[in-house]
Amino acid sequence: MISQQLLSDAAGRLYQHLLRNHWTGRALRGPDPGIRLNARIGRFIKSYSDFIRWDDSLTYAQTQKYWIMNNGLMADLNLADPERCHDIAVACGEYLLSVQRPDGYWEYPNREWQGRVATVEGNYAAMALLEAYHRTQHDPFLDAAKRWYRFAVDRIGFQKANGLMAINYFCDLGTGMVPNNSASALRVFAMLSKASGDEQYLETCRGMVAWLNQVQLESGELPYAVAGPGSSVRKDRIHFLCFQYNAFQFLNLTEYHDLTQDRAIWPVLEKLARFISQGVCESGAVCYDCRRKQPEVTYYATAVGAALSHATVLGLGDYSRLANRSYERVLTLINPDGSLRFHSRGRGGFPTDRRSYPRYLSMILHHLLLECAKRVPLGAGVS
């Protein structure tokens, strides 16, 4: 098993790297692999021409969610100054308040999706604010999450059939039904119910849980997208970055379960854990998808490691060896200054993307800290 010291040292270096290179005083900001052409080609050109100052920084709400939670964990574990961590988390929460639109949503940062309101971005912004509220009891953070809930339920809405519900991917734009969006919505609604003490925020959860149970494959995989009656999509898209995508869904759904004790989600979690465990290579890297081992993407390994570690704690199976292998792989890729040797690397090392992406670095940091927290009573610190 990896020592607590190695985990905490790596987390500390990564945290300091994010502070030095991406913290603006209000939010984590920096480049992102993005979507479409940049994800396929542009990011590699930029990585190999790092002598050019590329003007492509973005500020994702998803990044701020991890950053706020990371600062809370860094303080809990005595890995950084608690007062400074508190101030950073509050500043980040205030930033999210400042960019929330009056209707309750957040705009998606990528130019390619300009004008679209993506459910996932709002879900992660709301998670960030609910974590900030948990830490501060500052009512505006809770009120902002409530505004997002109303927008999600009333404007984004659901595709429904026979008591099953799947939240839409975008507002006012028909797409397939995507389990990832419902998984993150379940977590948000459970967090909001817990924070407010009001079970009305769980009203749509039963339908989403029933739908996830229905669409989960025998293999345990949750499909990427399912064609729906209310969308322009006519064909299911089963596989997309299978193991890491399902790992994030597992983590969101376990949080939903932990907050609500809804046993109806338990069968989904059992099958998800078994499926995710199949994606860990001998090296500790995680397969790119169901068909290919490569390219290797660093953040996949800690997402899968965190999911399998938590599955073991929940009693879903003993996945500790696989989780440890994935964490070990990532620790070998963190440089002394907290940067990564690479974000992604293809067969034979080409092409390689070595840029520093705050969204994915904050995810890696979060999953390292979750593993630290499993081993140390919060507030006890590390030796």
Q: Per residue in 61-95, pLDDT tens?
A: 999 999 999 999 999 999 999 999 999 999 999 99
Give a yes or no: residue 297 inside a domain.
Answer: yes
Mean pLDDT of the chain: 93
Give a yes or no: residue 43 inside a domain.
Answer: no
Last residue of a domain, one of 116, 134, 156: 156
Is pLDDT above 90 for 201?
yes
Give a yes or no: residue 273 inside a domain.
Answer: no
Percentage of the residues of the chain whose pLDDT score is greater than 70: 96
Last residue of a domain, one of 156, 172, 205: 156
207 and 189 within one domain: yes
pLDDT of residue 382: 40
pLDDT of residue 172: 80
pLDDT of residue 133: 98
Give a yes or no: residue 192 inside a domain.
Answer: yes
- Residue 45 binned pLDDT confidence (cut-offs 50, 70, 90): confident
208 and 144 within one domain: no
229 and 140 within one domain: no
How many distinct structural domains can be found in the chain? 3
As separate numbers, helices (DSSP H) first and strands (DSSP E) second, the chain gives: 14, 5
pLDDT of residue 348: 84
Percentage of the residues of the chain whose pLDDT score is greater than 90: 80
174 and 152 within one domain: no
Give a yes or no: residue 99 inside a domain.
Answer: yes
Average pLDDT over residues 38-54: 84
Average pLDDT over residues 298-319: 98
Burial 116-138 (b: 16+ CB within 10 A, else e): ebbbbbbbbbbbbbbbbbbbeee
Domain residue limits at 296 = 1-30+279-376
- Residue 110 binned pLDDT confidence (cut-offs 50, 70, 90): confident
134 and 72 within one domain: yes
CA distances from 261 to 184, 199, 255, 348 (A): 16, 13, 10, 46
Single-letter amino acid code for the residue at 201: Y
Return the structure tokens found at 201: 């925020």
Give a yes or no: residue 72 inside a domain.
Answer: yes
Q: Is the pTM of this model over 0.85?
A: yes
pLDDT of residue 75: 97
Average pLDDT over residues 206-224: 97
pLDDT of residue 232: 58
Give a yes or no: residue 264 inside a domain.
Answer: no
pLDDT of residue 230: 58
Residue 258's φ and ψ, nearest 5 degrees, are -60, -35
286 and 252 within one domain: no
pLDDT of residue 319: 98
179 and 189 within one domain: yes
